[in-house]
Amino acid sequence: MKKTLLLTAVLAFAACSGGDWHDATLPAGERAALLLKEMTLEEKIGQMCQYVGPCYVPPDQGSPYKNIDASDENLGNPELAQRIRDGKVGAFLHVLTGEEAHQLQVLASESRLGIPLLMGIDAIHGNGLRAGCTVYPGNIGLASTFRPELMEKIGAETADEMRRTGMHWTFAPNLDVARDARWGRMGECFGEDPYLVSEMGKYSIWGLQGRDGDFAEGKVLACAKHLIGGGEPAGGLNAAPMDMSERKMRELYLPPFQAAVEAGVATVMAAHNELNGVPCHANSWLVEDILRKELGFNGFVVSDWMDIERLHSMHHLVPDQNEAFLLSVESGIDMHMQGDHYFESVLEGVRSGRIPMKRIDEAAGKILEAKFALGLFEDPIPPLPAQRGFPADAEHRRTSLEAARESIVLLKNDGILPLGSYSRIFLCGPNADSQTQLGDWVVPQEDDDVITVFEGLREAFPQARIDTLFFGGRVTGVDEAGLAQATSLARAAQLNILVLGDNSQRYSSFGRTCGENCDRDNIDLPGRQQELLEAVAASGRPTVLLLMSGRALGVEWAAESPSVNAIVNTWEPGQMGGQAIAEILTGAVNPSGKLPVTIPRNAGQIQCVYNHKHSQYSRHFALAEQGPLYPFGHGLSYTRFEYGEPTLSKTVIGPGESVQLRVTLTNAGPRDGAEAVQLYIRDEYGSVTRPVKELKAVQKPFLKAGESTTLEFEITPAMLACWGAGEKWEVEPGDFTVMLGSSSDDKDLNCVSLTVQ
């Protein structure tokens, strides 16, 4: 998209061109400019208007989001159909049936110019808002694979399933850098580190859109969100204010968006929150100066769900909704997501002279160009579902299984894992046989399409008696009777397996404790799950704890108790999760996942991240253990990897020079396995204080037992640069420490010194 969305130049060219926008051989930008010349003002503003699918919020039923102030005004109203015929609607989101997508495009074909609609959906980790599509592990789990290239494969498969269900645009990837475990959207993100988030996001965009920017068949628009700073909200509450220095923004939160722009991302979504007192939906410095002029973004910017209205209702920035609409357009927001009255306000804003026609042409032109690039004008009306067939794909399910296997993180193991032979097992916990493993942004799936932990273990231990206690699948459902029953069954078993954690399912009737707008003031196990854990562990039988959640949970008691023999962080492993978990527990698969976030001991440690400043822990907590429960990058294996001493091709370099690092990695253990080798760099002294370490590169080789390999890393000037006191990116002369190892913990790292003259 970046190479084709050069609308200003194209508009000038089109003004003296005699081309025809129907000509599919012309570049998308040129066709958009030609079409704009034939459009009325009303039709142009119509392209900037997006509505939610009528079936998403049926008339008189309100919003399915019980904790979001969504409006169902005008939904299911015949006036909406007429607006489409009048060319006053440019896009829809959350069109949840193939029949609905078909009918809406038929309505659009009846408009004066027949401009097709852009169909968007939150395909966050697969097209999970459509039943039957593939559900991959949640993004925090995908980040735990430390394999960005896997995201390209998942993105391509997701795009394929979207297009086969009439969708063209996903509101993903989420590039928020998640720095607070209380925040419910941690599971939707790729972790706490800007490098890892950037890499996972970049490959995801390539998978969704393709690498050449031409949107080959089966590709969709990606959307980098949320610009910017929502992953560290005040009090852990979604949409809370964010105040931070420009240095912090540029070094921590902006790099993923820069990587997304360089990858050619077609769209960007603004964030709920305010930034240093200016809401992101009204922040022209952020959208125009930084995103467009500095980073070179040439796509269009969409609002988040009714967040323009919240400039008035939530932020109290402007006195009324009308002013909010006008300010958002002036600030660079090109499309309004869901709601009424926007069209009328913007129309009057242009007629009054406040909003220049050039601004409308820019916004509408970028949207039209995206539609041309997708090929919608040549194939606007999707066939009805009966003509398409069921979207499920066996190859995609295999990818989901592969991702689940690599996303699981072994946190603790006293040697009990992998499991041996057991004749009687007690499987306990609300997430043991539940679709909570699918995570957020997923509708209920057919039970036959989901392999739960119970089903996976039943397959792995066909001869064993498995006693169960699931508390109705409710994470807050543990009660006195359940505790008593669990105690009895635990004592009778040879092995106890508990599946505890959160529930992120937005359509669940079991009570959410995680996910969007579901934040908590602590990171404990919800309800009485901690009591359940202690009761089962007190049985004296071997006990394995599986943590299934979209956030980091502070399970300090379990980590330190000898009665809990192993802890496995499964995150939310998707539809094949039960099989992957059983394979990890039995040793059929060697765990290789690594933590993309630091796990604090408790909420009092927040903010707890690996790339903190030196002074953060110059003083200690009274009456509490220092340091995180589990560090960023941590993850155990069933084999043992040995690192040789890293060597640099040079230990002294000049300005602008790169240097090569080499290290030998050996699988010295009894099993084949993969190891995520992590390279960190610390700038020892600078014009501004620097973090104790920063992740700069990762390689994940697979080695057979006894096998060795030599890994090479190139350390570039960009990896050594900081936003210095001169308020620009530069490599400052001085000493650097290069660290290589299995986690961010100092004890897991080998170090070598580098000097920049």
Q: Report the catalytic residues.
A: 304
Cβ 323 vs Cβ 348: under 8 Å: no
Cα 245 to Cα 172, 253, 407: the distances in Å are 26, 11, 34
Residue 380 to residues 36, 104, 117, 166, 372: CA-CA distances in angstroms? 19, 10, 8, 9, 10
| Amino acid (one-letter) located at 331 | S
Tokens representing residue 368 in the block: 């039209």
CA 142 to chain centre: 9
The 652-653 sheet, strands edge to edge = 652-653, 749-756, 734-741, 677-683, 694-699
- Distances 642 to 668, 677, 742 between C-alpha atoms, Å: 6, 11, 10
Tell me how far the alpha carbon of residue 553 is from its chain's centroid. 18
Beta bridge partners of 497: 427, 544
Q: Determine the Cα–Cα distance for residues 126 and 159; give it in Å rounded to an integer.
A: 8
What is the Cα–Cα distance from 694 to 403, expressed in whole angstroms? 26
Q: Give the separation between CA 169 and CA 731, rounded to whole angstroms.
A: 39
DSSP notation for 215-254: --TT--B-EEEEETTTTS-GGG-TT--B---HHHIIIIIS
3 state SS of 736: strand
Q: Which residues lie closer than 8 Å to 512 by C-beta, 6 or more apart?
A: 503, 504, 505, 506, 518
Question: Which is nearest to 137 in space by CA: 386, 329, 400, 351?
Answer: 400
d(CA 398, CA 396): 5
Residues 6+ apart with CB under 8 A from 359: 329, 330
| Structure tokens given for 642 | 């040995």
**Angle 699-223-22 (CA atoms, 0-180°, nearest 5)?**
125
430 token code pair: 């609300």
378 vs 664: CA distance, rounded Å: 54
Which strand (E) or helix (H) includes residue 385? Answer: helix 385-388
- The C-alpha atoms of residue 137 and residue 143 are separated, in whole angstroms, by 10
For residues 507 and 560, the answer to whether their CB atoms sit within 8 Å is: no
Measured distance CA(38)–CA(59) in Å, rounded: 36
**Which H, E and C letters describe 521-577, residue by residue?**
CCCCCCCCHHHHHHHHHCCCCCEEEEEECCCCCCCHHHHHCCCCCEEEECCCCCCCH
Residue among 99, 3, 118 at smallest CA distance from 50: 118
Tell me, rounded to whole angstroms, the distance of Cα 441 from its chain centroid. 11
Distance CA(2)–CA(214), nearest Å, equals 10
Per-residue tokens: 328: 């958002």
3-state helix, strand, coil in the chain (%, to 5): 35, 20, 50
Q: Helix crossing, 28-36 with 357-374: angle to 10°? A: 130
